[in-house]
A and B are shown apart, each in its own frame.
Chain A
Amino acid sequence: MNRIERTNDFVIRFATVNGSGSASANNLFARSLFRMGLAVSAKNIFPSNIQGLPTWYEVRVNDQGYLARRGGVDMVVAVNGQTLRQDYASLEPGGYFFFDSSKQLPEDFTRGDITAIGIPLTLLVNEAFQGNRQAPLLKNIVYVGAVAALLDMDLSMLEEGIGRQYAKKPALAESNLKALQLGYSYAREHHAGVCLLRVRGGRRSDEAIMMDGNTAAALGALYAGATVVGWYPITPSTSVIEAFARYASRFREDSSGRMRVAVVQAEDELAAIGMVIGASWNGARSFTATSGPGISLMNEILGLAYFAEIPAVLINVQRVGPSTGMPTRTQQSDVISCAYASHGDTRHVLLFPATPAECFELTATAFDLAEELQTPVIVLSDLDLGMNEHVSLPLVWEEGRSYQRGRVLSAQDLAALEEQGEKWGRYLDRDGDGIPWRTLPGTDPDRGVYFTRGTSHNEYSGYTEDSGEYVKNMQRLILKWETAKLKVPQALVQEGASVNGPGVICYGTSCPAVEEGVALLEQNCGIKPTILRLRAFPFGPEVESFLQQHQPIVVVEQNRDAQMRQLLINECGIAPAALLPFTLYDGMPIASRDVFAGLRQLFGDCGLLELNSLPRQGESV
């Protein structure tokens, strides 16, 4: 029988029950691979539930450094009876079906193209840990040990991991180590040489880290000096605030034991964003983290902040649409709702991190931009980036980096202005770039006081319903938007074979899959499109010139309606036919194989590919 034979290049999927303790065992496995110097990506696919429903953890190892989800499963560790059949069917031909053989497999599990590997996990655990309340949890470690043996993996990294995890609980460390060894020895004894998937330790990078994007974003906010947080719990953003609060308790306590931070759990997202703009109006750096439904609720105040020109930082960890269930799956489906959030004519600055390092960097940048531009800035992460651990470049904070606090007048500034005979106006465009100067409450007894309101103000923040004043103000806001185009992080280009050949546009978590998909395209079809990785909205001149230069262009994204494509068409005045949509929106992290297949199809339809490089009928990639 055909068995997949690969070293450092495969996908293992752990099918477990949530709440059973499998998450930490799976994480131990993935992190150990990382510590062995391998490119590993781990995706947690979980339900809206605390205990009892199916959950999967997909680990990919790759010898070329690709970090996207690949697609397809080479080995499944099937320890959830509820999904046994589905997991069995999901295997690639030549794959390995690891199951708990304490119970026999159903008779109709008769695939001839895969290898079944039975390990009596329950029996082993019950025997070895009789009366131990930890036994159900230890079962997870037993399968990790067995998988390690099947992959011919050195146990030392796993043992080290257990040691770290239970550094303060030696009894638990001991039982976990025993469980690990139990699975390892059993698999060695009974299934030696069966599995042809292998891991071999590589050279460990001194640089790389393995971190979830939410922790990175939280650290970005901490480093950027956020002091006021208004938030409301919502998956998948909650861990941004939890991580922020955790780090704040370590790094924001003053010598008297008091906190240099106020984290306020709001009653809802309406209040959370209200607190953020109240604090920002008053000169503190403030942020919230939320997800799509929260953005919907924040719409009203986002409009107020846009028109009253108040800084605000939002981290939107996107997920699938409303309600519960699919919302614990990933998507990039809030692009339009964030870009134009609220009533009236509004546009908001968006940032699109693709890695934890960028979650850190772009969150910190968001605070600078929000204050420089005096407007809300939304960091658009997603569940995949935010909640899964990614191998990433380290977080970087240049020593001496200062905060860009924007145009805020002090009492001295106000006095100096008066001396020059200049009249300050809150909404006066003094510098010709659309960005006015603001003052903070309490600054000066006699100068710089103003009344903040939405649209009905003149340049001096006086109340007006004058049409001319309103239009003038709206035009200045457009000028400010033009200024923003030059201040936001630029899109990054990865040159292709031709300066005016085909192009692919991507952003956020679609980027690693696109990079790999394009590499596969080059290997298999001989064309190498130029990739443009968007990092911000508004689109800068570099995006406009990319759109002019390349043809055809495919926009890859994780939503049904090709929202970024719509935004590009709308904002850059480009003909819709010039941008081909490729969307994947099933809630699973985007897979490089699917991107490759999609690009091949689309570029093939454009006549760019040789006929023989197109897929034959019925062929899968």
Chain B
Amino acid sequence: MSFTRPTFRHPGIQPNEGGYSRRDYEGLISTLCAGCGHDSITSAIIQACFELSLPPHRIAKLSGIGCSSKTPAYYLGKSHGFNAVHGRMPAIATGANMANHELIYLGVSGDGDTASIGMGQFVHAVRRNLNMVYIVMNNGCYGLTKGQYSATADKGSRSRKGAANLLESIDLCEMAIQLGAGFVGRSFSGDKEQLVPLLKAALSHRGLSFLDVISPCVTFNNNPESTKSYHWVREHREENSEVDFVPFRQTINASYKDGATEAITLHDESVIYLHKPQAGPSITDRRQAIDTLEDHKAKGRLLTGVLYINPDSQDTHDILNTCQEPLNSLGAAELCPGAAVLAQINEAFR
């Protein structure tokens, strides 16, 4: 079952620059468990798209299978959506993106969908630096099949069932950095203030923007012994910087606390400002980014924020040198060499 939202809104609500109301970015009412972290991410996605004034119909939302992959029904009701099969969202997104590079591709996946069954597709979509936002709603367990550990569950972490996870966990952010993603960030579903600007920056970056969002499973994995619980994440989280995303042609009007500010200009001239308590490792250095993650892990801390950006990365279309027009807009006139050419081809085989 799915439930539509009431359409009534306060008449005083202001539309965004594109003339869209927040309602235009919403979807159906969520059927996930009450308190599920995924719903907060849904809400952050709606907020980020609204704030960026993206035309909803120019976004394609895709997902795999799992609790997380159900969420596209709950946001962007005016966007085409594709609920694929388990672990195969990246390939579908790749094909879709190849067909039309002008749309924004927003892929949502879970830790099971990405770190286990879809690991191959995740890895290679990142390697190709596909121009998309790839969000993993990471709760360390399989919710829809009732709480089995996933490959991102930390070693020693205990879910509600009590037995400790004995296997090493996979750090998807570290992998994404190593594999050449252009933009890598980690956040927490419980921190909308961080998540919304991160999403906005990710949506504006050209190339693969990977966001690992720790999103507790309130039903199976939210006990204090779980490292994916609200409690644990709040206790152990460390923000590497305050993120501010400034779209193209806008000026900063916020004031910042003392510290160091790193500004990264994206492909479309938007700027990401990272405000750090003190000058730290550069976010555009791949090796430093991985070291920083490992350092925090060693200290038992969960590092969040923008972890790595390569503002000059080439996306799949750049690499393949495809044409300006979307491939799905081309017709026989551009694509078919015609009968006369075929006659020449035939001749070469005589």
Binding site for A on B (CB under 8 A): 1-2, 55-58, 60, 72-73, 77-85, 88, 90-100, 102-103, 120-121, 123-124, 128, 316-317, 320-324, 327-328, 330-332, 334-339, 341-343, 345-346, 349-350
B103, B120, B330, B341: the one within 8 Å of A271 (CB): B120
Return A27 CB to nearest CB of chain B, in Å.
12
Q: Given that A281-B96, A283-B100 are contacting pairs, would A274 and B331 also be in contact in the complex, using a CB cutoff of 8 Å?
A: no
Q: How far is the CA of A465 from the CA of B2 in the complex (A)?
A: 10
Check A270–B88 contact: CB distance below 8 A.
yes
The minimal Cβ–Cβ distance linking B193 to chain A, given in whole angstroms, is 30
Complex Cα distance, B282 from A383, in Å, reads 54
Give, as a whole number of angstroms, the nearest-CB distance from B61 to chain A: 9
Over the window 412-444 of chain A, the binary record of Cβ atoms lying under 8 Å from chain B Cβ atoms (1 yes, 0 no) is: 000000000000000000000000000111111
Once the chains are docked, how many angstroms separate the CA of A465 from the CA of B331?
39
Structural contact, A227 and B335, CB atoms closer than 8 A: yes
Closest to A204 in B: B350
Is A105 close to B, CB under 8 A? no
Question: Which of A35, A251, A399, A450 contacts B80, CB < 8 Å?
Answer: A450
Please, could you name 12 A-B residue pairs with CB atoms under 8 Å apart, sorted by A? Answer: A208-B350, A222-B335, A252-B335, A260-B323, A266-B91, A267-B123, A271-B120, A274-B90, A279-B98, A282-B99, A304-B84, A444-B57
- B346 A209 Cβ-Cβ under 8 A: yes
3 tightest Cβ-Cβ pairs between the two chains A and B: A278-B95, A274-B91, A284-B99
Stretch touching chain B among A4-12, A390-398, A524-532, A569-577: A390-398
Q: A interface, by DSSP: helix, strand, loop or mixed?
A: loop
A271 touches B94 (CB 8 A): yes
What residues of chain A lie closer than 8 Å to B78, measured between beta carbons? Answer: 445-446, 449
Contact B321 A258 (CB under 8 A): yes
| B124 in contact with A278 (CB, 8 Å) | no
Q: Which residues of B contact A301 (CB under 8 A)?
A: 84-85, 88
Residues of B contacting A267 in the complex (Cβ-Cβ under 8 angstroms): 120-121, 123-124
CA distance in complex: A300, B317 (Å): 27
Whole-angstrom distance between the Cβ of A66 and the nearest chain B Cβ: 20
A223 at the B interface (CB under 8 A): yes
**Chain A: CB-nearest residue to B104:** A442
On whether A275 and B80 interact (CB within 8 A), knowing A264-B320, A270-B120, A395-B346, the answer reads no
Query: When the two chains form their complex, are residues A283 and B99 in contact, meaning their CB atoms are under 8 A apart?
Result: yes
CB pair A260–B95 under 8 Å, yes or no, is no
Residues of A within 8 A of B (CB): 35, 208-211, 219, 222-225, 227-228, 230, 251-252, 254, 256-264, 266-268, 270-284, 286, 300-301, 304, 394-399, 402-403, 439-446, 449-454, 462-465
In the complex the two chains form, is B120's CB within 8 Å of A268's CB?
yes
| Inter-chain contacts of B55 with A (CB < 8 A) | 445
Determine the distance from Cα of A261 to Cα of B335 in the docked complex, in whole angstroms: 9
Say yes or no: A274-B92 contact (C-beta < 8 A), given A258-B324, A263-B320.
yes
Q: How far is the CA of A403 from the CA of B330 in the complex (A)?
A: 12
User: In the complex, how many angstroms separate the beta carbon of B64 from the nearest chain A beta carbon?
Assistant: 10
Give the residues in chain B near A268, CB-CB below 8 Å.
120
A441 touches B98 (CB 8 A): no
A445 to B53, CA, bound (A): 13
Question: When the two chains form their complex, are residues B83 and A230 in contact, meaning their CB atoms are under 8 A apart?
Answer: no
Contact (Cβ within 8 A) B317 A262: yes
